Amino acid sequence: MTGTDAAQAFYDEHVHKKHTENGVAEADAAEAVAAAKDGSAVFVDARSADAQKISKMKGAMTPEEFLKAAEAGDEKVKGKKVYSYCWLGGDSCDFIKGKKDKLKELGYEDAKSVKLGMIGIAGADPELIVDSSGAVTKEVHNVEPIKGMFPEGFHENL
């Protein structure tokens, strides 16, 4: 099994339980992509800086950028839904869990982690994956345990 089917199986076996045990809400990639398209959400990329240099979801912010904007009441985040993502969902869950009190204080206690993370987003709408210049790309960073799980046509850099 490869690609997004393998990603779903890995998520179900290893990642979903982490969300449940930590009280972190999940959103499927289709929900997240719809929110991206209608502008009702802000996206937080919980992956490493090296991963973000290769590509990220269009318009995504780092956790630090998001928290700074939220604390300042910046209009680009004010009143919007928050979706966090990483490669598959584990680091995204950690971000929300680790900042749970801060998110609540800032009014973002309903933040959700995207199921299947960037893998799911890439499968739902590949046009949302961009490089550092903002151009659509098929280049992505990945990590060993989930190697080969991005949708067909994506080139994984480990």
The domain of 77 spans 3-149
- Mean of pLDDT values over 40-58: 96
> How many structural domains are present in the chain?
1
- What's the CATH number where 87 sits? 3.40.250.10
Structural domain contains residue 57: yes
Q: What is the pLDDT of residue 4?
A: 87
Structural domain contains residue 157: no
Q: What is the pLDDT of residue 3?
A: 85
Structural domain contains residue 35: yes
Main-chain phi, psi angles of 112, to 5 degrees: -125, 150
Structural domain contains residue 13: yes
Structural domain contains residue 156: no
Structural domain contains residue 49: yes
Q: Which of 92, 76, 14, 1 is nearest to 40 (CA)?
A: 76
Nearest-Å Rg of the Cα atoms of the chain is 14
Angle between helical axes of 117-124 and 3-10 (0-180°, round to 10): 140
Structural domain contains residue 143: yes
Q: What is the pLDDT of residue 131?
A: 97
pLDDT of 2 > 80? The answer is no
In tens, the pLDDT along 101-113 reads 999 999 999 999 9
Token pair 């098929």 is found at 138
The enclosing H or E element of 109 equals: none
